[in-house]
Each structure stands twice: as C-alpha cells, then as structure tokens.
Amino acid sequence: MGCGYDYWDLGLDICYLDLSYYCTPMKPVFRIGGSEELNSSQAVLLMEIGETHCCFAIVDYANQMMVQLGYYTADEKDNVDILQKLLDEHAELRQSFRQTIVGYYMPENILIPSRLYRYEETQVMLQAMYEKDKRVFVSESIGDWQLHNAYCVPAATHQLLERRFATGSFWHIYSVILKNGIQQHEGGSLAIDFKTDSFSVVAMKNNSLLLAQIFSYTRSGDVLYWLLKICEQFSLSQNDVRVSLSGLIDKQSAVFKELYQYFLNIEFASLENDIQLSGDFEEYPVHFFSSLYKLASCVS
C-alpha cells in the first residue's frame, strides 16, 4: 500500500493502546466547514501527522474543492494519542474515501541520491543516527529529484493509520514539497511552513536542494536565528533570497515582523493543485493550510 515506499519494523508488535495516552489534552486550532452532504466515495481525505499536531481536510474530488478541515495540537509529543483522539472526535473519518493521503511531518529523516540508495544500509544509518525505539523506518522515491527519502515514524502511529486506512498512501512532507516543486529564484529560495511550535525549511538555489529540515521554536528570535544561520551556511543573500511563507503565520505576528526587518523578498504561499475552497474558508488566509493543499499532488 502507499506510493511505492518501503518500511522496516523494529520487531515490535504494537497491538494495544495504553490507557494513559488519554491524559494528553488535544486542543482544536481550526474546525472549518462540513462534509455531511458529500458522498465519501467521491471525496479525498488529506491528513498531516506531526509530533504535536494532527490535521485533516476533506476534498470534493469532482469539484476539486476543500469542504472541511480540522486542525489540532497537543503539548506533548505523542502523535498516536492525538491521532486516536482525532479519529474518535470525527466520525466522518471512519467512512470509506475515494483516496486517503497521509503526510508525515517528522524531523528524523535522511535524503539520499537514488543511485546510492541501499535498503539495508539506509536502515542501519537511520538506526545509528536516531536510536529510536518503537519506530518503523519508511523509505520512498522522489523520482523527479532522483532522491530517496528515508525517515522514522512511531510504530503505533503508522500501524494505526494502516489499519484505519488500508489503501492509504503515505508520504513525508519533504517529499510532498519537492513533488510540488519550488519556484526558482536567482538568489535562491526558502520555503518555510509554520506550525504552532515548529517550522520546516526547504532551501534551494540553482535548481539544487540545499537543505530540508524541521526546527522547533518558542519565540520569534528562534526562527530568525535559524534562518540567518541557513543563509550564512549556504551563502544566500538576505537581500536576494526569496522567502515563501505558509502555515500558521500572518503579517501581524511577531515572527513576520522580525523576518520583514531582515529579508527583502517575502511572499505568502498561494493555492496549489487547482484546489478551491468552500465559502466556510473565506475568513482565513489561504496560506494557513498550504501543507494540506500540497498533499493533493499525491492524489491519483
């Protein structure tokens, strides 16, 4: 199942859920629209799972319109907890969808040129780098970039999703970003997507991938520090690099005000993949949900 990925299990048979996981509170960030009138067999479910967030969108496939969205966070890094609560909270997610696409927003990964990719060697490398228990290691090909993306996913999370969405397709968010493409700019490009307590950066110049990484932050200065370090490391000029912002950031935020003082070419991401939004989304900036729009590129 999935989109041509491999995964390795660490020999753990996770067939239960500890009752203690219900202690982690789940906080709704957005609950937008509804899909009651939509036949699920004509709908696509898009989901993104991170360490402290979980979100989904339901898309009317025929009209390419996003009609419902839910976005939740948790204070603790327990994604099987928040995922289970999301599935319990939304009965509509128990339906059979035309297709289900899951994006993993996980920091533990390596990108390898496809010509150098070896199944067993990559597994050993991931184990040595991250030394994580109760994980599965997933690998997928990014054909247009001649890369393989290998990454860690909590075993309980992956198994829960595979049981619930047996025909689902699973991708890492870096793979999804690269599949969608990043607009090239002579001075280089930084594609930045914000969550409530972390942000991802994909840096490119001259059609070459320089960096793909997830950073944690607690204040605006943390974001600025890492972006300036990236520019320094890869010789990207703050005056020339194009900065594309998406996710949970707006012009009134402290993060944006900091960035605006240091970078000249800043823009917010727009809708992609011909996705439209129902009227329920009118009061929200379209870039808030960019990572979910991008998942639509994996729909077949």
* Domain ranges for the chain: 1-180+270-300, 184-269
- The reply to whether the predicted model has a pTM over 0.75 is yes
Say if 1-180+270-300 and 184-269 have the same CATH topology: yes
Give residue-wise pLDDT tens across range 32-84. Answer: 999 888 899 999 999 999 999 999 999 999 999 999 999 999 887 766 778 88
Confidence of residue 173 (pLDDT cuts 50, 70, 90): very high
Rounded Cα distance between 153 and 134, Å, is: 9
Q: The domain 184-269: what is its CATH number?
A: 3.30.420.260
Q: At the top level of CATH, which class does the domain 1-180+270-300 belong to?
A: alpha beta
Quick one: pLDDT at residue 79? Answer: 64
Q: What is the mean pLDDT of the chain?
A: 88
Whether the predicted pLDDT of 145 surpasses 80: yes
Whether the predicted pLDDT of 1 surpasses 80: no
Segment 227-231 shows an average pLDDT of: 98
Any idea which of 52-66, 119-133, 165-179, 278-292 has the lowest mean pLDDT? 119-133
Tokens of 104: 């993993």
Question: Residues 6 or more apart from 298 whose CB is under 8 A from it?
Answer: 3, 101, 169, 171, 176, 179
Give residue-wise pLDDT tens across range 238-270. Answer: 999 999 999 999 999 999 999 999 999 999 998
The percent of residues in the chain predicted with pLDDT above 70, rounded, is 91
Whether the predicted pLDDT of 7 surpasses 70: no
Segment 192-200 shows an average pLDDT of: 96
Closest to 174 measured CA to CA, from 141, 218, 125, 216: 141
